[in-house]
A = this chain, B = another copy of it.
Amino acid sequence: MKPMGTIPPEFGGRRGMLAIAGRPAAEWAALAADTPLFVYDPAIAAARVARFRAAFPGIELSYAIKANPYPPLVARMAALVDGLDVASVGELRLALGSKAAGAVGFAGPGKRDTELAAAIEARATINLESEGEAVRALAIAERLGLVPRLAVRVNPDIELRGSGMRMGGRPSPFGVDAVRAAALVRQVMAAGADWRGFHIYAGSQALDPQAIIDTQGATLALAARLAEEAGAAPPVVNLGGGFGVPYFPNDQSLDVERVGVALAVALARRGDILADTQFAIELGRWLVAECGVYLTRVIDRKESGGELFVVVDGGLHHQLAASGNFGTVVRRNYPLAVANRMGEPATETVSVVGCLCTPLDRLGDRIALPHAEVGDLIAIFMAGAYGASASPAAFLGHPPAAELLA
């Protein structure tokens, strides 16, 4: 038997049929007309926003659409947060449907001229990823007769320790190295652009509060140093994100309150040049991962070589990360339950496999579950971020999963 991650507190400890936003999982499946489906409970995301607001007073909160671009969820998030972060023209259009352009920031290392033009015309902020991109953006703005809103994305000389994806402290396709950032600020200001400040993102999916505290402190110091070098106070400093969520056994929820206290202390001591700067934190996964449940129905039960398999109608084409992303070396189990048998004792060890004709399609590896019958519903938790949109939906030609906002 192998362990699995912890069911989020909003869904744990229940008995009988799992409820999502007060409605039984079976009703959600009926509403979708078919399994599998994703159900997102915006109240859980709203609770995360409220927790952030309490822990980080005065700090702007941005939602990174890439975590979950399901339009009704984006619209709901837009009403709760201060800004939206986008990474393509597709996401830009989605963001502008529910937020003023001044609250939308566009990052990404390979923006085409057409993408830059769309952002400039919309008056969204472009996070410049290189000197070359700055030259192109300025030329396009001039051609359009518009003043572009440009922030400088900085590849920090800081690494977010223990993060799932390190994005600083090393050569990077993102932003300009800190040593060249001030020069780029001067260049865009000299060209008459509306310089919006710095965007500094050092990593993601960190669960150690001290690592985030250290990174935020170093980011503040870096922003002050770069502003001094540039001789200009940044209107905004985006401190990045990096708040992780507990997917796997032994993962601990991030103590954001401790991070907030430390950030307040660091801000109280910040350099004078940052006195009037607005600070922002950009979060995707931490806001929405726990609000989503993937529901899939048991199609078959079978035994092979002494191992029990529960075969479901979903799979890695909808929820790739839970399967281990096409073969990670150490595959770990997301939290998972039999949705219509919550609280029943685990009586057997089974592997939950998807319907795809590939051995990689394994959603739960030798986990302890109550006896699941054909027709039962399996719930995979932590499915609100990097689920439907980050999976190869067309793989093997099965239909896409439905998505529902509670």
Contacts and interface: CB of A to CB of B under 8 A. Distances in A.
Please state the number of chain copies in the assembly: 2
B309 A397 contact: no
A313 B87 contact: no
A14 interface: no
Contact of A177 (B86, B305, B311): B305
Interface string A169-206: 01111101100000000000000000000000000000
Given A172-B359, A312-B110, A397-B91, A133 B300 contact: yes
Contacts of A394: 69, 388-389, 393
A195 to B, nearest CB: 20
Interface in A34-67: 65-66
Interface stretch (A222-230, A237-245, A248-256, A347-355): A347-355
B396 A351 contact: no
Interface string A85-126: 011111100100000000000011111100000000000000
Interface in A352-406: 353-360, 374, 388-399
Which secondary structure dominates chain A's binding surface?
Answer: loop
Contacts of A328: 327-329
A173 B390 contact: no
Interface string A300-316: 11101111010111010
A69 B94 CA distance: 30
Contacts of A110: 299-300, 311-313, 315, 353-356
Contacts of A312: 110
A177 B325 CA distance: 27
B304 A177 contact: yes
A144 interface: no
A165 B397 contact: no
A341 interface: no
Given A108-B356, A130-B302, A390-B395, 18 more contacts: A66-B396, A88-B355, A90-B399, A108-B355, A110-B356, A111-B299, A111-B355, A132-B300, A132-B301, A166-B359, A167-B359, A171-B307, A173-B351, A174-B357, A320-B392, A321-B326, A327-B328, A391-B392
A216 interface: no
A131 interface: yes
A353 B173 contact: yes
A306 B171 contact: yes
B171 A305 contact: yes
